[in-house]
Structure 1
Amino acid sequence: MNYKKTLLMPKTAFPMKANLPHREPTIQQEWEETKLYERLMEQTKDNPLFILHDGPPYANGDLHLGHAMNKILKDFILRYKSLSGYHTPYVPGWDTHGLPIETALTKTKKVNRKKLSVAEFRAKCEEYALKQVDRQREQFKRLGVQADWDNPYITLHKSYEAAQIELFGEMAKKGYIYKDLKAVYWSPSSESALAEAEIEYKDKRSPSIYVAFKVEDGKGVLQADEELVIWTTTPWTLPANLGISVHRDLDYAVVEEAGRKLVVAEERLGALKDILEWKEARVLRTIKGRELEYITAQHPFYDRTSLVMLGDHVTTDAGTGCVHTAPGHGEEDFHIGKTYGLEILSPVNERGYFTEEASGFEGQFYDAANPAITELLKENGALLHLSFITHSYAHDWRTKKPVIYRATPQWFASIKDFRADMLKNIEEVEWYPAWGETRLRNMVRDREDWCISRQRAWGVPIPVFYGENLEPIITDQTITHVAELFREHGSNIWFEWDTKDLLPEGFVSEHSPNGQFTREKDIMDVWFDSGSSHHAVLEQRDELVRPADVYLEGSDQYRGWFNSSLSTAVAVTGKAPYKTIISHGFALDGDGRKMSKSLGNVVAPQDVAKELGVDILRLWVASSDYQADVRVSQDILKQVAEAYRKIRNTVRFLLGNIADFSPADNRVTFADLTSVDRFIHFKRQHVIQEVRDAYERYDFSTVIQTVHHFCTNDLSAFYLDFAKDVLYIEKADDSRRRAIQTVMYDTLKDILVLLAPLLPHTMDEAWKHLTDTKEDSVHLASMPTAELASDHQEDMTFWQSFMTLRDEVLKALEEARNEKVIGKSLQAQVDIAPLTTEAKDLLLRTDNLGQLLIVSGVQIKEEIDGDDVRTFEHLKIKVSAKEGERCERCWTVTEDVGNDERYPDLCSRCATVVDSLVLEDVE
């Protein structure tokens, strides 16, 4: 007889092989065709609102792994919150203005910028940006991200630009917007001013020079034959030198060396003797810094003097204690220069080339002029020392090229005017990780103003008019009118229409008695664009609300979007635009290096989707400590795929063994569950609670670890393992079998929902194979709630103690198997002598002990002797081969095989079961 056909083996159409790269697109297509997102929004529309506001990625190029990690993390949160009963509209966004798009057109697309008008060039920028949006949108959708993809917010949209103008107007109305001449970060490669958020620091090799300035008027303190010594790593700024700064409280020494009398800070003497190779340096006298004020020195190569000033920024950490001061090329230089009434000289144009004001160097690129300047210093006898150093230097984070300080008229937002309110709001925000609060607070604490103007073409224009006296005009009337024009026509009209057509009809101003007006040509910083989204999106769209519950972005956004959003929101509302900030680290290669094409270590999300599937990528994100930098490589992804396989196999096993189970017809009551069934039930409740707690604190790795441990240890290695003896062997409607199926069905259903936010494709695929579910998608279900009954602790304690004893038995079986005493565990007879009263009591209270241990015989004895006895902490164990014959159906070794003459190969249990079956085609 073919006894295999009498077994109730697992049956399921849920495939063992995931084949995710092919199956996921089909699942996503079904989501779109069935309008899953729209149905979800309709289902939850009356529920409490939860808003995660999307920080807009830049619309340029394919997505990288950082983009993928960011959007996947957001999707985790929103899917969880939706399953937990919240209404979670998610509006994705894109940042579409700025230099990279201009550069892409001129370099990659070979657009000749000079042959186009500003309006024509902007039209091409818009066309390019929108194509990038479409490309990235499809790539984000492939990641399984659930969103209102048909209605995103895009910073170049007319409605967005209009709202941004309104926000600018509100800040201006409060007096926070002003124009001034200041030394700001300037990028010659971008030909534009930059804000601090657009600066990154990289190593740069620079000349290090020490220069002597001869005293011109010593004010009776210094003599004409004495010289002040400065140090700089930017020789190119010497044409703009107008002063030397010293500290009022420092002692300055007049040092005689090789016939020259040099003035330096006394604290720097030791270091300078080594650097300048002084042989016989002799201190003639010391002078307090304050005594040097208003002394003048001769510029080393121009016919003008440099004023000695007192500055608190002077230190003795490096240099000479006498600081070269060029008000047009340094922030501190600028401030002290204004204090002392110096000219703000900046003889470098927007491209980084010297102007006529830098006589002798005009037309040279600033950095390339360093050798010529040092050579001139040498010729004039002013150069004391030249060497080269490698140091951290400010770079344009877009072009990756060095920036300079350059004094130009710019528009600013005065952060200091509402800084206290920003700091107060920072304290009220919830931070993940906690150090984010300190990081943003430190950035805001010392910030004075924000340079918001850029000298580019592709962006939102600064909506300012000028009268005939060149005074800026910003009124409620002009702001409202420009905003409405942009809402109807878009911001391109600023560069297409005449100025008079951009003003309200009949507009008059005291600044233009003849009615002649001009307009600002600069555009706004792109961080002002994205930083306006709380007003342009959260306030403008009916389904959203400000403040958002969560902003989640990379850790670089403390200086970027987190900062600019806070600045603009506090300026106009007094409140932060977010309740919670979550930040994540960067994706690195397996060796912890930054990914780059040149190193060949880039792992592209599109490639992972094609090779392994998006759920593997999502599992990698979920398993990672994402708040720090995260490593990824092919080997790491293979490990993730193995963890995925174990989860999938558990799901498949559960599905296969409940194929003939109907929860409506076959479910047993809780009272009919055995103690071990109740243990798994209660264990599941703890898993549910731990998982939900982890989700609430955005700790996705704990979600995965908790479920994975439950599947691997509690289910696969224990409950499901011994349950096979019941599920396969007993009759279909056996009460014990139905009890186990009840536990398995409930367990599977909960696992599918618990993991649905992280593995949405796999869990939804499995959900389709689950019987008697009212929802056609797991994403329309509800997150399970833990039922931690007060009387469950006895079962939990009993079985946790049993698992400790079971581990000792399993170890003894493994040792016996290695010694060839037995083959499979069902060939074993296990004799156990408990070493403690507690262990003895526990084993004697355990029903079906042999079945639980998956052995054919178990005996509890008072004592066991012999060389083959193994002693553990709680048990002495002897493993031997079980006497008897193996049942050909259940494979148990027993002495009652053949007791029923009709079934000579079966044990009594199997014979009874087979005899009860209606046998068709089993011969």
Structure 2
Amino acid sequence: MLRLLCRSSAGSQTLVRWARRSQRGGGLLLHGARSCTSSRRCHGTGSGEVNGQPAENGSGNALYRDSVLLPKTEFPMKLTGQKLLDRELQIQQECGFADLYSWQRERKAKNKFCLHDGPPYANGDPHVGHALNKILKDIRNRFEMLRGRQVHYIPGWDCHGLPIELKALGDLGTSGLSPLQIRQKAREFAEGAIARQKAAFQRWGVMADWDQCYYTFDGTYEAAQLKVFQEMHSKGLIYQDYKPVFWSPSSGTALAEAELEYNPEHVSRAVYATFPLVTLPPKIASQEGMESVSVLVWTTQPWTIPANQAVCYMPNAQYSVVKRADNSEKRRAELFLHLFPLLGSLLEGGICKHPTIPDKQVPLLPANHVTMVKGTGLVHTAPAHGMEDYSVASQFKLPVECMVDEDGTFNELAGPELQKLSVMTEGNDKVISMLKQCNALLKEEQCVHSYPYDWRTKQPVVIRPSKQLVFSLLTMLDRRTYWCISRQRSWGVPIPVFYHKESGEALINKYTVSHIAQLFKEKGSDCWWELPIETLLPPEVKAGAASDYVRGEDVLDIWFDSGASWAAVLEGTFESDSRADVYVEGKDQIGGWFQSSLLTSVAVRNKAPYKSLVVHGFAVSEKGEKMSKSVGNVVDPDVVINGGKGPTEPAYGADVLRWWVAESNVFSDVQIGPSALSSARDSISKLRNTLKFLLGNLQGFDPRLQAVDPKQMHYIDQYMLHLLREYSIKVTDAYSEFDAGRVIRVLQAFITRELSSFYFSIIKDRLYCDAEDSLGRRSCQTVLEEILDGVTRSIAPILPHMAEEVYLHAPGHDKEETLFKSGWIKSSSVWRRPGLEEAVEGACAIRDSFLSSIPGKNAARYDLTVAIEPGLLFELMESLQEEPTSTTSQLAELMMAARVNLATKMPRDLDPEALLNHGTFLINLEGGVIREESAYSIAVTPTSAARCPRCRRYTANSADCLCPRCQSIVSQAH
């Protein structure tokens, strides 16, 4: 049963039965009858009614079926399973998805758009996080390309780093393998991951030149990276220094902050320890009660106490001198007895005895990092094992002695009792035991707190000093004053530094770096290990000196690798500005790629590599949980597209995955699961149904030959062009703001309100029952084609497969043409005509009053009388119906009534049982210059006309006769 929905201001909807489809042929079942004339009545063959419609029986049922222009299209209502998957792949092939990026790069375009692709990590299979990121980028790129801009988008991969090395080696480890062997295995692993990810991205419909990607292990890329390194080094921003870094004993390398994850459930053995004052601060030396005083410190890392060099205090904080309670005083349930307060600044000049190292003394020093939030306000300071501690050491020239080896055990500097013990386990236990032995341990407790872990091995890290290459940009950073850019691994870009065999002095300058960069460009970075050192050294260094040097063994931090991508991908791309329009990545890249890109670009070029940033959330389960294989809530994008095991994992295809991305609020964490995917599929199905209706009613229509000029159109058709233009503006704005979710909301509102519930319900009679070439029908088809074109283009960035499929069935273009090569929505400012909006919306206000008078009733069974005093509103309604009474006027069509009578006042012979209603409508023209509030009255009476057996409108003279409109059409056909 086809049903038409009429909208009303009261929010109710009147269902108007239109026709019942034949179970045999899918056409309209029409009550059999013959055309009638004024001199002869005709007798039908049916009798009775079914659901308010005449019963369908007898041989005359299909008499007028062929004269009714029902929708016809080969566009399928639904595609599921393998047919859906095959169709998407066929669309990609037929519509040239693989060549689209190259095509748009070759065309002339005034404006350019550059989205620089942050490199995904080549260490595993594609996942929904990849889908969220890549599809979000592709939606914007396709939109910009449709707008006529030349899109610059080079996909890339981050190929170095410890996770790849560990996965490539598996259980083998690095034992017995040369750097080149390790690198070969890591490269093979990364190449396999890249191939799988690239194939997935292509299947998702991501537009790119997939043969011209960038890879951080490519020689050309590495050469560009070393050029950045050289520029930074020549400016003095990169140098070698002995500083504390986050060190991972489990990985055997230094880590950047972005390579840490903080475990909030880490448990430490925290201690309160006493440091006896051997030299009282001069300002309180004469104070009574200061005999045998100790300072009390609190630390969650007791293992660092052997490396203590000072105790820090806050000068403006208030401290207390207390006395430890003896046994007789403990009845007061107090551990300490308060003696007197003390300002922190009075502690200046005090010296303490180290609790575990005999004869060692450490000073009391002021420091800004001391807080009173936790602990005692007196901070044990070990410069080798703390970032703030190191800053204090730099200020006061304290020793920085590292007592911890790379494997996380104490070295010989810690003394024989501690040497070879793991600092985080038995070494920590031993230090606490030593504090007990020297009576310096006041209290021990378990402390649950956040602690940094190696994000790869999931093991705790330590802070220890190491001789590393660091990048310093003090004026830019508030929290981190330097960035350790060297790593102690084999799989990465070798740092082009040589060391003198005897002195250990580093050899690194513009000549050595430039020479190595050129070698990397020609041969790849494996040549660092393959070539003799005589070849690696540049001509500027005497050949005889080669034997005095050895090559360095460290590689660059992978964040430096990826952070230099602007130099390898963007430099030289644009004539004036080599910045990307936008970087788009997940929120984890705020301290990662976004930052490393910014730091390197500002250091070299004094400008950011991007004009704007878009930060999206993570993909999580439908319960909002992080996805985990152990929990079993991981959503595999391959299973989403191709289906999995059983009916609970149907094949959704790529467009459903893309709709999920577009519909989500990507600026927060995005949930995905069966409900979200099923909802996306249903939304696409509803959209597909609308597109099928549009295509079906455009069968045989060629807009290039049969389109009607807007000035000749019915007012409601012109009005729809006006609404379509507003729709296109809203959609364009939403895409421009990276808000595909708003695009979908605008789309669905347009389809539901403006099309399905309003326009489609009104025009079906004109579409189906007017003469095929009539002005009214062609007017309607012209608008439907514009709507089809506008809606199809508006969804194309999100649903490229379905958009191209619709375009293959749509009229008005050559068969070989594809949608993505034909531009954006072609709305026109000509569509907005003065008075048009007021005329149609004024009629809609009257229609709302009419429908609210007959709730739940069929509007087509009633005659409507509209009375409006002379004025603007009456003139506007006259433009929709020139004659006083009509069954075929634009006003009658809009009202969907049997007949509309238009007058300046109610007739005197009005049926006393007529339903009366009143209302007002405010006319606002020329920006408020013309304003008029007009009153109107309506009277609703059941129509006395009979229903036409062809069009089913109540406009016939008798039950078995055609209405005048249908009689004319049928007679002309014969």
TM-score range normalised by the length of the shorter chain: 0.7 to 0.9
List gaps (5 residues or longer) in structure 2. 1-59, 643-650, 882-888, 921-935
- How has the CA–CA distance of structure 1 residues 597 and 544 changed in structure 2, closer, same or farther, with 3 Å as cutoff? farther
What's the counterpart of residue 103 of structure 1?
166
Measure the CA separation in 1 of the matches of 2:444 and 2:852.
73
Q: 2:410 aligns with which of 354, 361, 373?
A: 354
- Aligned-residue Cα RMSD (Å) equals 3.0
Query: 1:782-816: per-residue Cα shift (whole Å, max 9, x none)?
Result: 11354324962411233234334434444554x3x
Describe how 1:356-755 pairs up with structure 2 within 5 A: 356-359=412-415, 360-369=417-426, 370-416=428-474, 419=476, 444-467=477-500, 468-505=502-539, 507-508=541-542, 515-539=547-571, 546-610=578-642, 611-755=651-795
- Contact preservation (8 Å) 1:658, 1:741: yes
Alignment of 1:794 with 2:835, yes or no, is yes
Q: Which moved more, 1:129-138 or 1:248-257?
A: 248-257
Measure the CA separation in 1 of the matches of 2:849 and 2:738.
37
Query: 1:305-342: per-residue Cα shift (whole Å, max 9, x none)?
Result: 33322222222222111101111110111121233333
Query: 1:265-322: per-residue Cα shift (whole Å, max 9, x none)?
Result: xxxxxxxx99x97345131563643544351223246663333222222222221111
Quote the offset at 1:840 in angstroms.
6.9
- How has the CA–CA distance of structure 1 residues 752 and 233 changed in structure 2, closer, same or farther, with 3 Å as cutoff? same
Query: 1:378-430: per-residue Cα shift (whole Å, max 9, x none)?
Result: 3432222222232222233333333221111111111126x3xxxxxxxxxxx
- Contact preservation (8 Å) 1:538, 1:544: no
Matched position secondary structure for 2:583: strand
Measure the CA separation in 1 of the matches of 2:941 and 2:448.
74
Quote the offset at 1:124 in angstroms.
0.5
- Contact preservation (8 Å) 1:189, 1:399: yes
Query: 1:643-682: per-residue Cα shift (whole Å, max 9, x none)?
Result: 3223222221111111111122211222211211111112
Measure the CA separation in 1 of the matches of 2:336 and 2:523.
76
- How has the CA–CA distance of structure 1 residues 389 and 868 changed in structure 2, closer, same or farther, with 3 Å as cutoff? farther
List gaps (5 residues or longer) in structure 1. 261-272, 420-443, 899-903, 919-923
Quote the offset at 1:114 in angstroms.
0.7
- How has the CA–CA distance of structure 1 residues 400 and 889 changed in structure 2, closer, same or farther, with 3 Å as cutoff? farther
What's the counterpart of residue 10 of structure 2?
none
Alignment of 1:888 with 2:949, yes or no, is yes
What's the counterpart of residue 182 of structure 2?
121
- How has the CA–CA distance of structure 1 residues 754 and 404 changed in structure 2, closer, same or farther, with 3 Å as cutoff? same
Matched position secondary structure for 1:507: coil
Q: 1:180 aligns with which of 224, 241, 256?
A: 241
| Equivalent residue letter for 1:473 | L
Q: How many residues align?
A: 863
Alignment of 1:852 with 2:894, yes or no, is yes
Measure the CA separation in 1 of the matches of 2:358 and 2:129.
52
- Contact preservation (8 Å) 2:846, 2:919: no
Matched position secondary structure for 1:88: strand
Query: 1:576-631: per-residue Cα shift (whole Å, max 9, x none)?
Result: 21122222122233333322223333333222222222222222222233223223
Quote the offset at 1:250 in angstroms.
3.4
What's the counterpart of residue 222 of structure 2?
161
Normalised by the length of structure 1, the TM-score is: 0.87
Tell me which structure has the larger Cα radius of gyration. 2
Matched position secondary structure for 2:151: coil
| Equivalent residue letter for 2:226 | I
- Contact preservation (8 Å) 1:213, 1:300: no
Matched position secondary structure for 1:518: strand
What's the counterpart of residue 136 of structure 1?
197
Measure the CA separation in 1 of the matches of 2:898 and 2:715.
22
Query: 1:159-207: per-residue Cα shift (whole Å, max 9, x none)?
Result: 1111111211111111111011111222223221122222333302223
Alignment of 1:771 with 2:811, yes or no, is yes
- How has the CA–CA distance of structure 1 residues 686 and 162 changed in structure 2, closer, same or farther, with 3 Å as cutoff? same
- Contact preservation (8 Å) 1:216, 1:298: no
- Contact preservation (8 Å) 1:869, 1:876: no
Q: Which moved more, 1:33-42 or 1:493-502?
A: 33-42
Normalised by the length of structure 2, the TM-score is: 0.83
Measure the CA separation in 2 of the matches of 1:118 and 1:316.
49
| Equivalent residue letter for 2:373 | D
- How has the CA–CA distance of structure 1 residues 839 and 523 changed in structure 2, closer, same or farther, with 3 Å as cutoff? same
Matched position secondary structure for 1:113: coil
Q: 1:233 aligns with which of 284, 300, 305?
A: 300
- How has the CA–CA distance of structure 1 residues 14 and 518 changed in structure 2, closer, same or farther, with 3 Å as cutoff? same
| Equivalent residue letter for 1:82 | M
What's the counterpart of residue 30 of structure 1?
94
Matched position secondary structure for 1:704: helix
What's the counterpart of residue 112 of structure 2?
49
| Equivalent residue letter for 1:452 | I
What's the counterpart of residue 379 of structure 2?
323
Identity rate, percent: 38
Matched position secondary structure for 1:318: coil
| Equivalent residue letter for 1:135 | R
Query: 1:474-516: per-residue Cα shift (whole Å, max 9, x none)?
Result: 222211210111112211122333433311247239xx96850
Q: 2:273 aligns with which of 204, 211, 229?
A: 211
| Equivalent residue letter for 1:327 | P
Measure the CA separation in 2 of the matches of 1:211 and 1:502.
54
Alignment of 1:253 with 2:293, yes or no, is no
Q: Which moved more, 1:370-379 or 1:232-241?
A: 370-379
What's the counterpart of residue 5 of structure 2?
none
Q: 1:314 aligns with which of 354, 363, 370?
A: 370
- Contact preservation (8 Å) 2:409, 2:421: yes
| Equivalent residue letter for 2:637 | P
- Contact preservation (8 Å) 2:353, 2:359: no
Quote the offset at 1:446 in angstroms.
4.0
| Equivalent residue letter for 2:587 | S
- How has the CA–CA distance of structure 1 residues 608 and 545 changed in structure 2, closer, same or farther, with 3 Å as cutoff? farther
| Equivalent residue letter for 1:656 | G
| Equivalent residue letter for 2:483 | W
Measure the CA separation in 2 of the matches of 1:285 and 1:717.
78
Alignment of 1:345 with 2:401, yes or no, is yes
Matched position secondary structure for 1:357: helix
Describe how 1:187-198 pairs up with structure 2 within 5 A: 187-198=248-259
| Equivalent residue letter for 1:361 | L
- How has the CA–CA distance of structure 1 residues 873 and 635 changed in structure 2, closer, same or farther, with 3 Å as cutoff? farther
